[in-house]
Amino acid sequence: MTDTTVTLTGTGTPLPVPGRAGPGTLVRRGDWAAQVDAGRGTVLRLAELGLGCPDIGLLALTHHHSDHLVGVADLVLTRWVQGGFDPLPVLAPEGPTARFARRLLDGWADDIEIRRRHTGRPAPQGPDVLAFDPPAAPAVVWRSADAEVSAVSVRHEPVEPAVAYRFDTPSGAVVVSGDTRVCAEVEALARGADVLVHEACRGAAVRERGKRFIADYHADTVELGAMAERAGVGTLVLTHLEPAPRTDEDAAAFASEVRRGGYTGRLLVGEDRLTVPAGEPAVQHG
């Protein structure tokens, strides 16, 4: 039995859809937990999973699109309210994403001051921003006793920089794509991974709805299937689903297109709170 798991804390996009929080992925090994991105509703999803914000030992941000970041201040401030007074380590590519993290608490100064004076608790420390230059090829950007984290630049132009992350633990390897087109960079990062959590866009369906600009910088499902097969990924988990599936038939269409691309491994169309133990059967929380 593995002790490395992946949980989708949010599978949505900028448009609100009932039951789908904003983009986010939780990677856990034993008592250690890392959150990748924090879209709307992330703190509530963590609470539903039995986690407090102080339980998060690392936050890794992929890029500066608002749907991936609007829950970050909630995570940091709630961490403080729940008694987490140490700064939260935040991995971020240097540029707009790192600048956002450094300025995170600026707009909350008055709220923080009145809470500090009223409760007597120390003021929160801002995030410990661990900025790195986005690498063109997979490179290690952070290490701990629980995980080695690598990153690579991805193809989400005109949003630059944007990165994907790989978590290598003693009991499994997990890759989270962030937002990107299907690209060789993620393929290299994901080679041999136990679990690849990748955004998915039904390109033809999106273009039919007149949203070509969305399809142009997100991952086409058919191309994704081919890439995941080449990379030898054990389990492919689809998230950031566009257009958002509202029926079982919609979800089946995502899976069908990935299979049409050639992927033969275990395939899961993501729902919020879906948990995937690396190398073990998936579990859907009730």
User: Where residue 206 falls among pLDDT bands split at 50, 70, 90?
Assistant: confident
Where do the domains of the chain lie, and which CATH numbers do they carry?
A: 4-284 (3.60.15.10)
The sign of the CA dihedral 102, 104, 109, 112 is: negative
Average pLDDT value over all residues in the chain = 93
Summarize the confidence of residues 137-143 as an average pLDDT: 98
Summarize the confidence of residues 95-123 as an average pLDDT: 93
Are 126 and 105 in contact by the 8 Å Cβ rule? The answer is yes
Max alpha carbon distance in the chain (Å)?
60
**Choice among 67, 194, 220, 272 that is catalytic:** 67
Whole-number Å distance between alpha carbons of 230 and 94: 30
Q: What does the pLDDT read at residue 124?
A: 82
Summarize the confidence of residues 165-191 as an average pLDDT: 97
Residue pLDDT, tens place only, 69-108: 999 999 999 999 999 999 999 999 999 999 999 999 999 9
Residue pLDDT, tens place only, 249-282: 999 999 999 999 999 999 999 999 999 998 665 5
Distances (CA, A) of 52 to 12, 152, 236: 22, 29, 28
Whether 168 is catalytic is no
Long-range contacts of 170-177 (CB under 8 A, 24+ apart): 170/29, 171/2, 171/3, 171/4, 171/29, 171/278, 172/2, 172/4, 172/278, 172/279, 173/278, 174/4, 174/6, 174/27, 174/278, 175/233, 176/25, 176/27, 176/36, 176/60, 176/62, 177/219
Whole-number Å distance between alpha carbons of 286 and 274: 9
Q: What does the pLDDT read at residue 102?
A: 97
- In DSSP terms, 284 is beta-bridged to 274
